[in-house]
Structure 1
Amino acid sequence: MHRLFASVRKKGRLLRSLKLTFSHTGSLLLLLLVSGVFSCREDVDKSQLETYEGPIRTSHQMVLLHSDSALVRTKLMADKQLEFRNGDNEFPEGILIHFFEKDGTLSSTIRADRGYYDRKNNLYRGEGDVQVHNILKGQKLSSEELFWDRARKKIYTEKFVTVEEPDRVIKGTGMEADEGFNDYKFKKVTGIIDNVL
């Protein structure tokens, strides 16, 4: 009987020893597998990685109101707005800006096929078919590019411009005006056509 117990104890120690061996072998095998995965990885040249420059946020049917002394002075609308990490914005489907008088009357509008906002310079730029309409004076401006400087409350361009007034049409290159398109001046006038009607 004593031999039987000794034999069972011996087998028990052997089983415990085997369990420990399998346990250590499993850990060792896992460690070898993990180190093998990482050692096979090629080093990446970080200079070859490109920084993502695309938009970080997209908005649809966007409306932005600017107020002065609790009165809405401008209303900016766009079907699509792309916002970038540096704070710049792009309006790939066009932009429409309404300007209001102090009494709330809509005085003028700017419409462009594409729009951009430069946050650093607080400057909007319209491209494509750009139209400015002074509703109160019946004046219209057409150009292929126009800038709106919010801080200076000015609109300007270096491109070719056509201004239609009720009694004449003026064509020229380069123009600056107040943001409401009330007073403007050309850098170079290329033609004036009086309306005979």
Structure 2
Amino acid sequence: MNKLVSYCLLTIALAFATSCGDDDSKLTEMEEYTGPSFESENVLIKLTEATVVKVIMKGKKQLQYQNGDIEFPEGLEVTFFDENGKKTSILTAQKGFKSANENLYRANGDVVVRNLEKEETLRTEELFWNPETKKIFTNKFVTVQTLTDIIPAEGLTAPQDFSTYEFTKPRDGEFKLEDN
């Protein structure tokens, strides 16, 4: 009887050890979490130079990832200021993303940039902003609306205040706006 009990105990111990080993191997096979590390709501970010506000970013929701990337999945508004702190232009988009590796922002979905002084408006579906060069650019289709014209083009580069702009591939034709 002792041999039978010893045999049963050994079998149970081996079964238990084997089942624990399976759990350990499953733990090592689990994928690493790649979702956001932090989530914030109603975000307001101010970028300054020598105590003068240069940029204000607002987002309904901000997700920050372990690699430093930042996402604004519910919209983004970026307000740009000149060297005296005067508002020059406003960029809005349905979504925003910042690549930490490249220090480059991407705005997607109904992107609009308004120059407040000249009352000109840029519209596109994707636009990039480089805070180091203080430039905005895209290779996508754009329209620029001035006080009198709507100008279509493929691609654009401009300073972040949208005071001037250069088209990559201008399209033929301008559309005149008429007063009603």
1:104 partner letter: G
SS of 2:84's equivalent?
coil
CA–CA distance in 1 between the matches of 2:42 and 2:94? 15
Q: Which is further off, 40-49 or 133-142?
A: 40-49
- The CA RMSD over aligned residues, in Å, is 2.2
TM-score normalized by structure 2? 0.85
Match of 2:32, SS? coil
Deviation string, structure 1 residues 68-106 (Cα, Å, up to 9, x no partner): 121001000001000000000110100000011222221
Partner letter of residue 132 of structure 2? Answer: A
Question: Relative to structure 1, is the Cα distance of residues 34 and 182 closer, same or farther in structure 2, using a 3 angstrom cutoff?
Answer: farther
Q: Number of residues paired by the alignment?
A: 167
**2:157 is the alignment partner of 1:189:** no
Matches within 5 A, 1:144-183: 144-183=125-164
Which structure carries more helix by proportion?
Answer: 1
What are structure 2's unaligned runs of at least 5 residues?
Answer: 1-8
* Structure having greater relative contact order (Cα 8 Å, sep ≥ 6): 2
The residue type paired with residue 116 of structure 2 is: I
Report how far residue 161 of structure 1 moved.
Answer: 0.1
**Shift in Å, 1:48:** 3.6
Please tell me whether residue 100 in structure 1 is matched to residue 81 in structure 2: yes
Consecutive unaligned residues of structure 1, counting only runs of 5 or more, are 1-28
* Secondary structure, counterpart of 1:40 in structure 2: helix
- Structure with greater Cα Rg: 1
Deviation string, structure 1 residues 103-135 (Cα, Å, up to 9, x no partner): 222110000000001011111100010000000
**What letter is aligned with 1:49?**
M
Tell me how far apart the structure 1 counterparts of residues 116 and 56 of structure 2 sit (CA, whole Å). Answer: 15
* Alignment match of 1:40 (pick from 19, 43, 49): 19
Query: In 1, Cα distance between the equivalents of 2:73 and 2:113?
Result: 19
